Structure 1
């Protein structure tokens, strides 16, 4: 999606930047890990396929993605590749209940082992939710996540974001949680995070 191609969003401990071709090689190395692919329900791609996927994320109107940087590492070294710790994505689709609105399926991945357990995923996801909710052109009605039943950390994370379980599919070993975008929830989100957007 072109919406975010010229912005970066600054958090307290992380920075969100658009997914560029220069990030692909490190991202591809992450996704060679069997456990990460299982947790993110991803297929293994060749490096060439990963470059094509990056172009898709940039061009397609139903996808929105950011690379997550460790703000301290970036401040120290000014090297995005070194500072990369994960990514956060939204897949958009029409809401079957409301013809003119969309549902955004959210994903978060902290791929670097040393970056886990530091709150990076929580901050990045809150920023992504707030950013997407604030973009009126996306016409969002609700957010949704699909999480592996064994991924208790992610399940708990989205429960703290006031998402509620709506279904379980045993055959896919997957739990679906949803969060309707309501005035009360927007007010709660505003208390959690403020957007600081700069040109990229």
Structure 2
């Protein structure tokens, strides 16, 4: 989605930047790990397929993505590639049954040394707040592997609730309705700072 191509989101621990072609080689290196692909339910792609995927994230109106940078490393080096620790995505669709726009959220902290530092939590909160401000979303959902207790606890802490389990896919779906009460809670959790981003 071109909505965020010139947008940088600033947090205390993380900085979110648009997914650019220069990020692809490191992202592709991450996704060569079978464990990471399993946790994210991702297919293994060739490098050229990864570049094509990056282009689709930029151009398709139903996808929104940011690369997650360690704010500390980025401040020290001013090098996005060195500071990359993961990504966060939204897949947007219109639910015909409920007549509302839904965003399926994803967060990945790819590097083991970056986990357990609150990067994923802050990155996801920034993404939820950005989407709430910029998009006409009335519900967020996530689909998480049943064994991924860290992600399940993370989204439960965001007030997402389990709505179904699909044993054949070993997957749990959690949802969160965008209500005035939830938005008030979100504002207590994150302060969205937006800057202009240029390559």
- Normalization by structure 1: what TM-score? 0.97
- State the match for 2:170 in structure 1: 173
Residue 156 in 1 paired to residue 148 in 2? no
Which deviates further from its counterpart, 88-97 or 156-165?
88-97
- State the match for 2:36 in structure 1: 36
- State the match for 2:103 in structure 1: 104
Distance 2:130 2:186 in 1: 10
Alignment of 1:31-180 (within 5 A): 31-99=31-99, 101-135=100-134, 138-180=135-177
Moved over 3 A (4+): none
Distance 1:38 1:142 in 2: 26
Please give the root-mean-square deviation of Cα atoms over the aligned residues, in Å: 0.7
Distance 1:123 1:95 in 2: 28
Q: Find the residue that maps to 1:97 and give its secondary structure.
A: coil
Distance 2:97 2:131 in 1: 20
Assess if the C-alpha contact under 8 Å between 1:90 and 1:106 holds in 2: yes
Residue 12 in 1 paired to residue 9 in 2? no
Distance 1:90 1:152 in 2: 21
Distance 1:28 1:168 in 2: 30
Q: Find the residue that maps to 2:91 and give its secondary structure.
A: strand
Q: Find the residue that maps to 1:140 and give its secondary structure.
A: coil
Q: Report the Cα offset of residue 97 of structure 1.
A: 3.3
When the two structures are aligned, how many residues end up with a matched partner?
197
Distance 2:136 2:119 in 1: 27
- Normalization by structure 2: what TM-score? 0.98
Tell me, which stretches of 5 or more residues in structure 2 are unaligned?
Answer: none
- State the match for 1:198 in structure 2: 195
Provide, for residues 146-165 of structure 1, a one-character-per-residue CA deviation record: whole Å limited to 9, x for no partner.
Answer: 00000000000000000000
Tell me, which stretches of 5 or more residues in structure 1 are unaligned?
Answer: none
